[in-house]
Amino acid sequence: MDRARLTKFDKAIAQTIQQAKQVPVLINYSDGNKRYEKAPDAFDMALIDKIDELDIPYWYPTDRMPEGEESRRNDGIGLTHVHHFYTKRNLWVLDAFVHKSHKLQTRALWVATACTEGSSALNRERPFGLPSKLSGTLYVSSMIREINTLGFLRRKIGKYKTCGIVPCISIGAKSSTETNEFNSSIDYIFTDPPFGGNLMYSELNFLWEAWLKVCTNNKTEAITNKVQGKGLSEYQRIMTECFRTFCHALKPGHWMTVEFHNSKNSVWNSIQEALQNAGFVIADVRMLDKQQGSFKQVTSANAVKQDLVISCYKPNGGLEDRFKLSAGTEEGVWDFARTHLKQLPVFVSKNGQAEIIAERQNYLLFDRMVAFHVQRGERVPMSAAEFYAGLEQRFPPRDGMYFLPDQAAEYDKKRMTVKEVLQLQLFISDEASAIQWLKQQLTKKPQTFQSIHPQFLKEIGSWQKYEKVLELSELLEQNFLRYDGKGDVPSQIHSHQSSNYKELRNLEKDDPVLKANAKDRWYVPDPNKASDLEKLRERALMQEFEEY
DNA sequence: ATAGGCGGGAGAAGCCGGTT
DNA sequence: AACCGGCTTCTCCCGCCTAT
């Protein structure tokens, strides 16, 4: 079946064009306070025809829609130029308003931009809902609702007036990649960057930019977009440039907050890498606790939506200077660790419960330390195991976190005011978080495959579909150790057994009852134990060998 | 290898009726 | 008269999965 089309001559661009045929079918009008509906009659049709024959006496945008993923989606139905998105009479009204705004040099042009989308063909008729465009797209529905632009403008002006005048705020709009005038002078930055290829900002803006006669130069627009030739690496490059500018602008030791929505792991990784490449040190990542869920969050049971907030800081001058001398040495590592720990929150509580501060855990401290070295082109002078052992020696541990001595004292004091410490809520979304989750579970209780598998399946709900599916057995094999029933029971299992089962208390490590109970349980390798590390290393080598 | 099914996704926003 | 709160959801695209 083919679409009914209409061929006509478009005077504005002096071309014969072919568009999908549209027929008015319903009029919603008001008489006094009441609203009525009717089918268009001969008078209404004659009026539309009459308007169509007249020429609009003002300038209006007739730009070709630019190339892009969104901007030319309506070429197929003949909406190729900006003015095609409006009915003649609405074009006329908007146009007259814009014309007058220019003439009076008022701020009314700003109001006009608020109406360019709502009064266009993007406004959908929805029998069971209220009209609106489909956000994030330039989608034109098969049923358009043409609104009364005159009334629309009037309402917007009313809203504008009620906003009042706010004093002393300066707003600027320019490219983040080219803002170089601030040099270590900004106190704080909050940024809400584009999340990869979610929204094609410059393309979506085109409809109102055409009215303003100012268009975005999208060369350094930080998005992924096939038509614009921007993949993940281009996105990351541009984001790094932006973050570098921010780092330059920020005072040393000061903070930046990055808001992010984890729609895709690859994009999430790009953002983190870009931050570190730009010189920032990530100090905290947590879920944004939104007061109210969106409609979709409430209705769909398995909608996984977490807004994340990344807190990061620009290292202070002292550390950078000292690091120049001590880089690549153990002293440099511990200097970084001390300085970093100093920046991290000491105690976080909610509803009378203390929360685990993820960034104070050994593996994340190690990650940050490595990133700091790699970013500055220095070799990392110690292994993870050595780092973990060093942490233990230098910094007092509390609830699986590490503190500076004075911080530990503060933590202890505040810790007494709460009932319990919440376990860190982990969402398994990729391999890394799956390993962390397993580590948490197995530290709490060494378990057999049969016992942990159902829990794993339950937790795996938020697994990103495009991630390679990893088998639990594979994850366990690669990262954890299993007691095969030979030799002494490992202390990780033994201590759990003796503290949780009365009948297993006070038994020797080679007791047959103990051994039978411990057999086939998986446990977390102890980084301080040479034998544990040896087992893991051996396994990694075997795997590498098998891949050849 | 290709086709087809299927699930899920950056909500925004105009308007009405009730309240202050 | 001004303000406030609540209401309500469509089509397309992408990518994964299954079937042919």
pLDDT average, residue stretch A61-85: 82
- Residue A141's nearest nucleotide, by CA–C1', is C11
Domain-embedded: residue A172: no
Residues A390 and A482 in one domain: no
Separation of A70 CA and B2 C1' (Å): 27
Nearest in space to A206 (alpha carbons), one of A70, A376, A383, A360 = A70
Residues A142 and A213 in one domain: no
Nearest 10 degrees: Cα torsion A517, A518, A519, A523: 150
**Of the segments A270-279, A305-314, A504-513, which one has the largest average pLDDT value?**
A270-279
* Residue A69: CB less than 7 A from any atom in strand C: yes
- Mean pLDDT for the stretch of residues A522-544: 69
Query: Given this model, what pLDDT does residue A337 score?
Result: 95
In a domain, A53, yes or no: yes
Q: Work out the average pLDDT over A289-305.
A: 33
Q: Is the CB of A264 under 7 A from strand C?
A: no
For the ranges A82-91, A173-182, A293-302, A422-431, the maximum mean pLDDT occurs at A82-91
Q: What distance in Å separates the CA atoms of residue A420 and residue A263, rounded to the nearest whole number?
A: 32
Q: Give the pLDDT score at A135.
A: 64
- For the stretch A384-437, pLDDT in tens is 888 989 999 999 998 889 999 999 999 988 888 876 666 555 555 566 667 777
A186 shares its domain with A215: yes
User: Is A88 within the bounds of a domain?
Assistant: yes
Residues, CB < 7 Å to strand B: A 30, 33, 35, 117-118, 130-136, 147-148, 151-152, 155, 192, 194-195, 198-199, 201, 261, 263, 294-296, 300, 302-305
Query: Using CA atoms, how far apart are residues A152 and A120, in angstroms rounded to an integer?
Result: 12
Does any domain span residue A357?
yes
Nucleotide nearest A136, from its CA to each C1': B10
Answer yes or no: is A142 CB < 7 A from strand C. yes
Q: Quick one: pLDDT at residue A342?
A: 93
- Measured in angstroms, what separates residue A429's CA from nucleotide C19's C1'? 29
Round and report the angstrom distance from CA (A402) to C1' (C3): 53
In a domain, A323, yes or no: no
The model's confidence at residue A298, banded by pLDDT at 50, 70 and 90, is very low
User: What is the pTM for the complete model shown?
Assistant: 0.67
In a domain, A82, yes or no: yes
Please give the nucleotide, over all strands, whose C1' is closest to the CA of residue A194. Answer: B10
Phi-psi group of A520: left, alpha or beta (phi > 0 → left; psi -120 to 50 → alpha; rest → beta): left
Let me know whether A142 and A153 are in one domain: yes
As a rounded value in angstroms, the CA-to-C1' distance for A1 and B3 is: 20
For residues A413 and A527, membership in a common domain is answered with no
Contacts 24+ apart (CB under 8 A), A56-64: A56/A88, A56/A91, A56/A92, A56/A95, A58/A95, A58/A96, A58/A98, A58/A99, A59/A95, A59/A99, A60/A12, A60/A91, A60/A94, A60/A95, A60/A98, A61/A210, A61/A211, A61/A213, A62/A12, A62/A13, A63/A206, A63/A210
Residue nearest to nucleotide C2 (CA to C1'): A162
- Residues A246 and A265 occupy one common structural domain: yes
Residue A184 has what pLDDT?
A: 92
Q: Give the end of a domain, one of A162, A194, A223.
A: A162
Q: Is the CB of A132 under 7 A from strand C?
A: yes
Q: A135 with A185, same domain?
A: no
| pLDDT exceeds cutoff 70 at A265 | no
Distance between CA atoms of residues A184 and A180, nearest Å: 10
The predicted pLDDT at position A303 comes to 29
User: Quick one: tokens of A198?
Assistant: 């979610």
| Whether residue A354 has pLDDT greater than 90 | no
A9 touches strand C (CB under 7 A): no
Domains of chain A: total: 4
Cβ of A73 near strand C (distance < 7 A): yes
A188 in the same domain as A158: no
- Residue closest to C15, CA→C1'? A466
Are A396 and A439 part of one and the same domain? no
A201 with A349, same domain: the answer is no
pLDDT for residue A187 is more than 80: yes
Nearest Cα neighbor of A216 from A199, A204, A229 is A204
Q: Is the residue at A538 inside a domain?
A: yes
Residues 456-485 of A with CB under 7 A from strand C: 465-466, 469
Say how far A348 CA is from C14 C1', in Å.
40
Residue nearest to nucleotide C12 (CA to C1'): A139
CA neighbor of A132 nearest in space, from A117, A142, A111: A117
CA of A332 to C1' of B1 (A): 56
| Angstrom distance, A13 CA to B11 C1' | 35
| Distances in whole angstroms, Cα of residue A187 to Cα of each of A184, A257, A495 | 9, 12, 49
**Per-residue pLDDT at A467 exceeds 50:** no
Confidence of residue A261 (pLDDT cuts 50, 70, 90): low
Question: What CATH number is given to the structural domain containing A240?
Answer: 3.40.50.150
CA of A264 to C1' of B5 (A): 24
Q: Which nucleotides of B are covered by protein (CB under 7 A)?
A: 8-17
Q: Are residues A22 and A146 in the same domain?
A: yes
What does the pLDDT look like over A483-510, one tens digit per residue? 877 777 777 777 777 666 655 666 666 6
User: A156: domain range?
Assistant: 5-162
pLDDT at residue A287 in the model: 59
Identify the domain boundary among A401, A425, A449. Answer: A425
Q: Give dist(CA A81, CA A63) in Å, integer.
A: 5
> Straight-line distance from CA A190 to C1' C10, in Å?
34
The residues with which A397 forms a beta bridge, in sequence order, are A402
Whether pLDDT at A324 is above 60: yes
* Nucleotide C3 C1' to residue A153 CA (A): 19
Give the distance, in angstroms, between residue A8 CA and nucleotide B12 C1'. Answer: 34
Q: What is the per-residue pLDDT for A314?
A: 94
**Contact, A130 CB vs strand C, < 7 Å:** yes
CA to C1' distance (Å), from A90 to B12: 21
Instruction: Look at A120-134, A234-248, A463-477, A497-511 and tell me which has the smallest mean pLDDT.
Output: A463-477
Share of chain A above pLDDT 70, in %: 73
A74 and A12, same structural domain? yes
- Residue A207 CA to B17 C1' — how many Å? 34
More confident residue, A336 or A122: A336
Question: What is the rounded distance in angstroms from the CA atom of residue A423 to the CA atom of residue A500?
Answer: 19
Q: For all residues of chain A together, what is the average pLDDT?
A: 76
The reply to whether A170 falls in a domain is: no
Helix A530-547 vs helix A472-479: crossing angle, to nearest 10 = 130
- Where b means 16+ CB within 10 Å and e means fewer, A158-180 reads eeeeeeeeeeeeeeeeebbbeee
- Listing DSSP states for A380-431 in one string gives --S-HHHHHHHHHHHS-EETTEE--HHHHHHHHHHHTTSSEEEPPP----SH
**pLDDT band, residue A203 (cuts 50/70/90):** confident
Please, which pLDDT band fits residue A291 given cuts at 50, 70 and 90?
A: very low
Specify whether the CB–CB gap between A62 and A95 falls below 8 A: no
Nucleotides on strand C with an atom closer than 7 A to protein CB?
A: 2-3, 7-17
A305 — pLDDT class (breaks 50, 70, 90): very low
Mean pLDDT over residues A188-207, rounded? 79
Residue nearest to nucleotide C11 (CA to C1'): A141
What's phi and psi for A157, nearest 5 deg? -60, -40
Q: What is the mean pLDDT of residues A333-360?
A: 86
